[in-house]
Structure 1
Amino acid sequence: MEYALKCYLCIVVIVQLPLINRSATLKNLINEATDGEGDDEDGRKQCTIQMDDIPGGPEAFELAARFCYDVQLELTAANVVPLRCAAEHLGMTGAVDQTESFLSEALRNWNDAVRALHACDAALPLAEDLLVVQRCVDALASKACADPTLFGWPMLHYYTAARKSLHETVVWNGIATPGKPRSPGADWWYKEASSFRLPVYSRLIVAMKSRGMGPASIAGSLAHYARLHISGLLGRRHGGGKSRAAALSDGDQRAVLEEVVALLPDEAGAAATRFLLGLLRTATVLHASAACRDALERRVGRQMEDAALEDLLIPNVGYAAETLYDVDCVHRMLDQFVMESTASPEIITADEDAAASAELRPVTTVAKLVDGYLAEVGTDPNLKLSKFHAIAALVPDYARALDDALYRAIDIYLKAHPWLTDSEREQLCRLINCQKLSLEACTHAAQNERLPLRVVVQVLFFEQLRLRTTVAGWFYVADNVDRGSSSSDNCVIPRRQSSSDRLRAAASLVGGRRGG
């Protein structure tokens, strides 16, 4: 009797005795199909079986058939998984045992485990049911978490092949000697891990987390994966991933971004602030979920002292956008930073100057960052006073040693918004501590017609106090020096004359502004 097996409508195999005897599934199908079958024209029985559900497709069935006919078959990490699943599906116990043994051996090697995990895609969902996918993930996770210098396996392809410079020979006195191999860095596994599909990569990262992989390494791999699959994150140094990112739709890139954000370690500083802000900018463009954007804003707020001004300039997207930049997003991140910041003047004691200075450093850094940001966004005529004021007011007064940068930002805003009323100008200028303006800033403010008159008077008043303090200091020094010394007299007289001239000039300036 002849049996014809059609697999995926593209392969027709004449099934003979060896294949039937070694496959319990085929044997059962043939028995069911031959019940009640008649003879053909030549008096021979003929049976046709259709099988379109073999894991791994026709290639896997061909491997299984070769195994049944004892044809020499070379098992590799790339074909062992499809053959293992096809053997399970066809009920070939002998092939199951042999492929299991080979797979267990292959998973001891990093490169073979990578190939085996890639091969699982063609054998789903049976590869998942047989726990082959999980075994591959566990094998890769355990190797990535281990110290690569303690094992003898070939760790990864680009370490042994692409990084040939690490093993280049050294010529000494005309004799070539092998160079000293360098240890792989913490990122040696990033490239292979980023080649997997998002669900598989996500499982791999979760497995590495459970095995104690450091948060910096996890965040580094996530950054590598995101830059490879999200076009908005590609920089000049990551041009190699453009084709892969371009092949993904906006929906797929959004899914990658949201999954990467969900997998980020909780530790502050694990991921670079610039990378987080890049994710936030791209999340806005791709219309990621509100939960994803909120998570990114909280993470940036916890380490905002490491942000750069250019990264905070997040464009507003959408037709309803009023301002050029998303100032509301920056306001929320700054609010998060202020809430989590523990530095305050009350906790600083005389015995803890060094510790207090280190604790205040992030706050002072963010204060400079905010002043620079306000100067950039202040030129936008659509930026409302309430939003500008809210961001500037979030920075505590003790965070600024000088208010010159804040004064400059406010002056830029006033210049771009000449329609503000006097009360609105005064409300904005109350943010400036006139006692913390430098001499140059005071000189500019005294002649600044955009400032309210009350602010100018206040600036001149504190400048007068500063001059009086300076003059009093000189008098104190002069009283403690020998009065008969001519040098002391010459030292005091010019200062008194200079301060008097300064006060008269300030008074005349105020009088001139009032008259105007």
Structure 2
Amino acid sequence: MSFHLHKFPLMSKSRKLHQLITEQETKQTSTAGIGEAEGEERVPGGDEIEEVHSQISLPNFPGGSETFEMAAKFCYGVKVDLNSSTVAPLRCAGEFLEMTEEYSEDNLISKTERFLSQYVLKSLKGSIKALKSCEKVMPLAETLGIVQRCIDSFASRASSADPASFGWPVSDEANDNRATSNQALWNGIESAVGRKGAVSASIAATSVGRGTNADSWLEPLSLLSLPLFQQLILAMRARDPSPDIIESCLIYYAKKYIPGISRLNRKPFSSSSIASESEHREILETIISNLPRERSSKSSTTTRFLFGLLRTANILNASESCRSALEKKIGSQLEHATLDELLIPSYSKLDENLYDVDCLERILIYCLDGLEERNASGIEAEEDGDHNVISSCLILVGKLIDGYLAEIASDANLKPDRFYNLAIVLPEQARLFHDGLYRAVDIYIKAHPWISQAEKEKICRVMDCQKLTLEACTHAAQNERLPLRAVVQVLFFEQLQLRHAIAGKLIAANATPQNSARPSVLRREQEGVEEGTIPAVAAGAGEAEESRSPWRTAVRANQVLRLDMDSMRTRVHQLEKECSTMKKVIQKIDKEGPRGWGSSLTRRFGCKIKTQVCDSHGQTVVNGRKGRDHDHQQ
């Protein structure tokens, strides 16, 4: 672009232009008849009457023609609009044109330096805008130290700021609200300074304005190029600010440039080429490598974002170290995750599973290691509720994993070993009850009817029947899908629960003032009930024996229950042998042919099975019949 300008205003402010114009005029006077030539910037000089023109070319001018135009206006004495976006290019232009204070008083360099120091670098937003404007005047801006000054100014002010006062971290809901009521938000910000004398203010505008106060400088921050953004984050980390501040910057920048990072606010992206995928991968790895290791105060929002990063890292094939660091970060706050976030699809061609079970298992191990470190280091040991907090986190993780197991159990490609290994990772204290685990086991066995009996028994071993509630025990006892051994265990512990419940009711019913005066006797009697034996009583206490007759009744009932369980266990083993014998006979009959199979089967099993089915309760049945016959005769 060419500019037709007078030489005297330019020469009065710029030493470089003065030298170039002087050299050009010297050549023109020594060589006559030189015609005009076209150039990028033309500065006419000489006497207009003689129509002698000088042409000056300024290649590689910092900031281009737009910045040169503002510098030329300054030379003409026209007021230049100095702001955060123009001060850095004008400072570089003044350096390029040598517009120093020694050459001319109150020159461009001194004006821009003063404005930069007194106004721009005093605010977060101004520092970011000035840093963004340095991109088009590189590397001169970096040589002059403008880039580093902007970075240091922003880092120092952001590190000393309170994250809550700026609305950190910026959530998806705040972005959605900003999109729907943008004008109201900006009005709220503009009127924040003069709001002291206002009679009333909108509560909604005030609450939304907090989030937008951060957005007013986070938006220009997200426009920085990746190298400048990385330098800025490194400078902030060197000053050890609040982790929420760094996370907010990283979250905002990632949502700006990485497609599909947020499930709640997905914008359509055009199909990415190979180059754009590599750029996305570079941005992703930069974001992950700069994430703070500390736990975030807004863990639910950050955890949702981290799972989005993990899905994107799997899609873009990020480095193994990058994904490992991200999994450790997620594991440090896994208790704040939701079941939907745990369902990470498997993108590997070698893995036929619907979900990435191995990834979640690694995250779970990182979570348990982190809880163990917190418990061992005693970071919160001074507080009485430290162990309670860790235990509550562990229980939340246990419920989350049980729900995850129930979701992935219906996957037909999920191997029994993978299901078993994930189920046993959690420690014993992570599950108060095993109802959720039983539900997952039941779903898995129902969805995988082809697995062997040994594999079913192995899957059922992840459950502790003592931790099943009465409702779960009732369902499991009638569940035909469970192995017979598991059903027997459930029935056994169900009887134990009933026995303890009966004993507890008897203790509550017979707690009299006389008994309360003798706690040692009650304790011995209670221990006797738990052990299934009659408690020893001192001689000469006949009246006490009569008053404690309900205790003897309860003990006898417990002994009967124990005998019933023993007979049931024996009967189960007999049934297993009978079933095995029947299978062998049927296979033999199939080989011999259909002739004579009915009589043979009846001769071998007909009466025997019918008689043995009633063996365990034969006495009860006979007694019942006799009683009914006796009543009928009466």
Normalising by the residue count of structure 1, what TM-score does the alignment of the two structures yield?
0.79
2:287 is the counterpart of 1:265: no
Shift of 1:470: 4.7
Quote the residue 1:60 is aligned against: 67
SS in 1 for 2:424: helix
The alignment's C-alpha RMSD in Å is 4.5
Quote the residue 2:438 is aligned against: 407
CA distance in structure 2 between the aligned counterparts of 1:82 and 1:13, rounded to whole angstroms: 22
Find 1:101's aligned residue among 96, 108, 114. 114
Quote the residue 1:284 is aligned against: 314
* Aligned ranges 1:375-390 → 2 under 5 Å: 375-390=406-421
Q: AA paired with 1:381?
A: A
Shift of 1:216: 2.0
Q: Is the 8 A contact 2:398 2:430 kept in 1?
A: yes
2:446 is the counterpart of 1:446: no
Find 2:363's aligned residue among 333, 336, 357. 333
More divergent stretch after superposition (50-59 vs 475-484): 475-484
* Aligned ranges 1:69-468 → 2 under 5 Å: 69-93=76-100, 94-107=107-120, 108-146=122-160, 161-163=187-189, 177=199, 185=210, 188-196=213-221, 197=224, 198-236=226-264, 238=265, 249-270=276-297, 272-342=302-372, 355-468=386-499
Shift of 1:96: 1.5
Q: Is the 8 A contact 1:478 1:488 kept in 2?
A: no
Shift of 1:380: 0.6
| Greater share of strand | 1
Q: AA paired with 1:216?
A: D
Q: 1:301 to 1:113 in 2, by over 3 A?
A: closer
Quote the residue 1:16 is aligned against: 7
Question: Which digits, 9 at most, give the CA deviation of each residue in 1:324-354, with x for residues without a partner?
Answer: 111111011111122233299999xxxx996
CA distance in structure 1 between the aligned counterparts of 2:564 and 2:255, rounded to whole angstroms: 59
Find 2:32's aligned residue among 23, 32, 39. 39
SS in 1 for 2:410: coil
Unmatched 5+ stretches in structure 2: 36-49, 101-106, 164-182, 378-382, 513-543, 580-634
Question: Which digits, 9 at most, give the CA deviation of each residue in 1:201-230, with x for residues without a partner?
Answer: 333333334444311232233223323333
CA distance in structure 1 between the aligned counterparts of 2:479 and 2:245, rounded to whole angstroms: 53
Q: 1:96 to 1:356 in 2, by over 3 A?
A: closer
Quote the residue 2:533 is aligned against: none
Shift of 1:35: 7.8
SS in 1 for 2:213: coil
Q: Is the 8 A contact 1:194 1:201 kept in 2?
A: no
Q: 1:162 to 1:135 in 2, by over 3 A?
A: farther
Quote the residue 2:535 is aligned against: none
CA distance in structure 2 between the aligned counterparts of 1:483 and 1:474, rounded to whole angstroms: 19
Shift of 1:463: 2.9
Q: Is the 8 A contact 1:193 1:201 kept in 2?
A: no
Q: 1:23 to 1:470 in 2, by over 3 A?
A: closer
SS in 1 for 2:199: strand
More divergent stretch after superposition (61-70 vs 200-209): 200-209
Q: 1:319 to 1:496 in 2, by over 3 A?
A: closer
Matched positions, count: 491
Q: 1:343 to 1:464 in 2, by over 3 A?
A: farther
CA distance in structure 1 between the aligned counterparts of 2:398 and 2:22, rounded to whole angstroms: 82
CA distance in structure 1 between the aligned counterparts of 2:305 and 2:52, rounded to whole angstroms: 69
Q: Is the 8 A contact 1:228 1:242 kept in 2?
A: no
Q: AA paired with 2:59?
A: D
Q: AA paired with 1:177?
A: V
SS in 1 for 2:260: helix
Normalising by the residue count of structure 2, what TM-score does the alignment of the two structures yield?
0.66
Q: AA paired with 1:64?
A: A
Q: 1:257 to 1:415 in 2, by over 3 A?
A: same
Q: AA paired with 1:124?
A: M
Q: Is the 8 A contact 2:434 2:468 kept in 1?
A: yes
Q: Is the 8 A contact 1:301 1:334 kept in 2?
A: yes
Shift of 1:103: 2.1
Q: Is the 8 A contact 1:167 1:180 kept in 2?
A: no
Question: Which digits, 9 at most, give the CA deviation of each residue in 1:51-105, with x for residues without a partner?
Answer: 2300010111112222233344343333222111111112221321222222222
More divergent stretch after superposition (335-344 vs 244-253): 244-253
CA distance in structure 1 between the aligned counterparts of 2:119 and 2:70, rounded to whole angstroms: 18
Shift of 1:434: 2.0
Q: AA paired with 2:234?
A: V
CA distance in structure 1 between the aligned counterparts of 2:457 and 2:186, rounded to whole angstroms: 68
SS in 2 for 1:188: helix
Q: AA paired with 1:98?
A: K
Shift of 1:381: 0.8
SS in 1 for 2:57: strand
CA distance in structure 2 between the aligned counterparts of 1:424 and 1:403, rounded to whole angstroms: 19
Unmatched 5+ stretches in structure 1: 1-9, 150-156
CA distance in structure 2 between the aligned counterparts of 1:244 and 1:136, rounded to whole angstroms: 34
Shift of 1:251: 3.5
Shift of 1:194: 3.5
More divergent stretch after superposition (139-148 vs 30-39): 30-39
CA distance in structure 2 between the aligned counterparts of 1:355 and 1:73, rounded to whole angstroms: 61
Q: 1:243 to 1:480 in 2, by over 3 A?
A: closer
Q: Is the 8 A contact 2:11 2:18 kept in 1?
A: yes
Q: Is the 8 A contact 1:226 1:256 kept in 2?
A: yes
CA distance in structure 2 between the aligned counterparts of 1:409 and 1:287, rounded to whole angstroms: 31
Q: AA paired with 1:401?
A: L
Q: 1:480 to 1:252 in 2, by over 3 A?
A: closer
Shift of 1:417: 1.5
Shift of 1:106: 2.4
SS in 2 for 1:195: helix
Shift of 1:187: 7.6
Q: AA paired with 2:343?
A: L
Q: 1:299 to 1:24 in 2, by over 3 A?
A: same
Question: Which digits, 9 at most, give the CA deviation of each residue in 1:22-77, with x for residues without a partner?
Answer: 43334455566678773226898765443230001011111222223334434333
Q: 1:127 to 1:244 in 2, by over 3 A?
A: farther
Q: AA paired with 2:69?
A: E
More divergent stretch after superposition (311-320 vs 63-72): 63-72
Shift of 1:409: 0.9
Q: AA paired with 1:55?
A: P
Q: Which has the larger radius of gyration?
A: 2
Shift of 1:379: 0.8
CA distance in structure 2 between the aligned counterparts of 1:192 and 1:245, rounded to whole angstroms: 30
CA distance in structure 1 between the aligned counterparts of 2:362 and 2:494, rounded to whole angstroms: 36
Shift of 1:505: 11
Shift of 1:319: 3.7
Q: Is the 8 A contact 2:499 2:558 kept in 1?
A: no
Q: Is the 8 A contact 2:243 2:294 kept in 1?
A: yes
Shift of 1:465: 3.7
